[in-house]
Homo-oligomer: A and B are copies of this chain.
Amino acid sequence: MSIEEKLKVIPLGGLGEIGKNITAIEYKEEIIVIDCGAAFPDEEMYGVDLIIPDVTYLLNNKEKVKGIFITHGHEDHIGSLPYILKQINVPVYGSKLTLGIIEKKLKDSNLKFEYKLNVVAPGNIIKLENLAIEFIRTTHSIADSCAIAIHTPLGTILHTGDFKIDYTPIDGLFMDLQRISEIGKEGVLLLMADSTNAERGGHTISEKSIGETLNKIFSKADGRVIVATFASNIHRMQQIINSSIKHGRKVAFSGRSMESISEVARELGYLHIPDDFVIEVDEIAGMDNDKVTIVTTGSQGEPMAGLARIAFSTHKKIKVEPKDLFIISASPIPGNEKLISRVINQLFKKGADVIYEALEEVHVSGHAFREELKLMHRLVKPKYFIPIHGEYRHLKHHKDLAESLGMEENKIFILENGSVFEATKDNAKLCGKVKTGNILVDGLGVGDVGNIVLRDRRHLAQEGMVTIVVAIERESYTLISGPDVITRGFVYVKESEELIGKVKEVAKKELEYALENQIIEWYLLKSNMKRAVETLIYEKTKRRPTILPIIMEI
C-alpha cells in the first residue's frame, strides 16, 4: 500500500454548533459530501436571514467532488443546497421524501440550471470508483431518514445522520438495526454519530405516544383544534390527521411550508389523508367549529408565521374564537422561549385554551438519548469515533460516553469545522485545517455582510447614531454651513435640545480650531471632531452612539 492511501474526513460545518451540517469524505481522486445544511442566525446577527458554510475546500477540489449524499430533509441538512449547487453542480442523492422536499426547495429558489436528483432506496448502494455509498434506514423526527455507510478500501465509515431509535415508528418502517449490526460485525473503521442529546440520560419516547396524548386532548375539545408543529414532521402531521379523522374533524393546512411539505408528502405517499378530509382554510368559516382541525406553522413563536399571526390578529383568514384549543406540539429551540411565551399569553388573553410542553406531553425529541447512543456504539464497535452534530459540550459528553463503554481516548477525535481527520491503514490523526466558516445571507446578498458590518449593526442597535454634517469651502478653507446634527435611535431630540446644542458647539469648536491651524487632512479633522463629541456625549449620558462626521467640500 503506497503512502498516498489516505482517507480524509473533513467536516465543513455542524461541529461546535447545532446546524449547517456538511462533511467531505475524500479518498484519492474522489470526494463525496454528506449533507449540505444551513444554520439560522442567533439574535446578535442582526438582519442575517441564513448562514451557509464556506465550501472553499470543495471549490478548490471541484473536479474530485462526485456527489452530495443527504441523510434527511431537515433544513440543517439541506438548507445550503440552492447556494452550493450554484457553485458545484454535482448529483444529489437521497431517499424519496428527502429529494421531494429538496426538489420543491430548488424550484422555489429559481435556479437557472439543470440539477441532478437521484432517489436512492434505503438498502441501496451507489458505487463510485473507489467509494461505495450505502443508505441505511433510520428513525428521526422526519420520515425517510437514513444513515450512510461509506465503504472505502481502508474500511467502512458509518455516518448516522440525525437519529433516534423508535421501536414503534408511525410508518411502521423500523430503523435497520440489523444492517448496522452486520456492518459493525464486518468491522467499522470510523463511526460518526449524532451528539445532539448526548447530555440526556435514558431513552427517547416513541413518536407514537404523542398520538395517545392527542387523542385524549381531541376527545375533550368542543371548538376548533389548532395545532402548531414543524412542517417537516410528517409523522406528527399524520397523527394529528389520525386523531382528527377519529373525532370527525376535517383538516386544513395553513402556512407556506406546512402547505408545501404536506403536499409533497401526500404526493409521494408519506402522508395519508382521504381527500374528503382535507379542507382549504377558506372553507373553515362555513363549518361547525368542532369539525375542524387546523395544522399551522409557527411552533417557535416566529412573529411572521401562522401561529403568531393568529394570536395577534394579523392572520388574514383565521381569527381566535372563544372555544379554540391550541396545541403547540414542539419544544422551544433555545433562544425562542420568549417569543413562544408571548404567543401563549396572547392566546390565553383572547380566551382560547392552549396546551404546550409544560402542561402535557405533546412533543418528543428526534435525537437519541444516552441509552440509544450506547446501543449504536455497541452494535458498531468502531475503530475510531468522531462525535458529530453538536456544540462542544455535546461532543465532549458523547466522547465521555464512548470512553465509558471502554473505547480508548486516543481513538476518539473531537473535530472542529475544517479539521482534517486522516486515516491510513494503520493509523489515524488530525492533520491541520482547511478554510471554512460562516457565509451570511441577508436578502439577496450572499457573503456581503460580515463581521465589520455586523459590528456596526450591533453598535447602531445599542445606542443609535449621531451624524454631524458640515460644509467647508475648499478654496478659502472656511466653514460655510453646519454643523448640523441628525440622530437616529439616540434620544428623543425634542427633549434633548440642550444636549444637541452642546454637540453642535463642541463640533464647531473643534472645526474652527482645525481650520485656523490649517489641519487640512480631512480624516484628522473628522477624528478630532468625533472624539470631542464622543467625550461630551459619554459624560452627559454614559452612552456611546455611533458618531458619523461628514464633511462636504464645496
A-side residues, CB < 8 A to B, are 16, 42-43, 46-47, 199-200, 334-335, 337-338, 341, 344-346, 348-349, 354, 358-359, 391-393, 396, 442-445, 448-450, 452-454, 456-465, 467, 469, 471, 480-482, 484, 486, 488-492, 495-496, 540-543, 546, 548, 550, 552-554
Q: Give Cα A453–Cα B486 distance, bound, in whole angstroms.
A: 13
In the complex, what residues of B have CB within 8 A of residue A552's CB?
469, 471, 481-482, 484, 552
> Which residues of chain B are near A461, meaning CB under 8 Å?
46-47, 457-458, 460-461
Q: Are the C-beta atoms of A541 and B443 separated by less than 8 Å? A: yes
Selected from B354, B448, B465, B540, the residue in CB contact (under 8 A) with A495 is B448
Contact: B543 with A443, CB < 8 Å?
yes
A462 to B44, CA, bound (A): 10
Complex Cα spacing A541 to B344, Å: 35
* CA–CA, A452 and B495, complex, Å: 13
Q: Known A396-B348, A543-B445; judge A481-B391 contact (CB<8 A).
A: no
A345 neighbours in B (Cβ, 8 Å): 16, 391-393
Min Cβ gap A235→B in Å is: 26
Cα A49 to Cα B16 in complex, Å, equals 31
Q: Out of B392, B465, B490, name the residue touching A488 (CB < 8 Å).
A: B465
Chain B residues whose C-beta falls within 8 Å of the C-beta of A457 in the assembled complex: 460-464, 489
Q: State whether A444 touches B540 (Cβ < 8 A).
A: yes
Chain B residue nearest to A340 in the complex (CB) = B334
CB distance from A358 to the nearest CB of B (A): 5
In the complex, the 7 A-B pairs of residues with the closest C-beta atoms, listed nearest first: A443-B542, A461-B461, A456-B489, A457-B489, A334-B337, A460-B460, A345-B392
* Among candidates B354, B442, B490, B554, residue contacting A471 with C-beta atoms closer than 8 Å: B554
**A and B contact pairs by CB, cutoff 8 A, 24 listed:** A43-B43, A46-B461, A46-B462, A47-B464, A47-B489, A199-B359, A334-B337, A334-B338, A335-B338, A345-B391, A345-B392, A354-B393, A443-B542, A445-B491, A445-B541, A457-B463, A458-B461, A460-B464, A467-B548, A471-B471, A471-B481, A482-B552, A484-B550, A484-B552
Find chain B residues with CB under 8 A from A546 CB.
488
Query: How many Å lie between the Cα of A454 and that of B469 in the bound state?
Result: 24
For residue A550, which residue of chain B has the nearest CB? B469
B392 touches A47 (CB 8 A): no
A453 near B491 with CB under 8 A, answer yes
With A450-B492, A457-B461, A467-B467 already in contact, the answer to whether A481 and B359 are too (CB < 8 A) is no
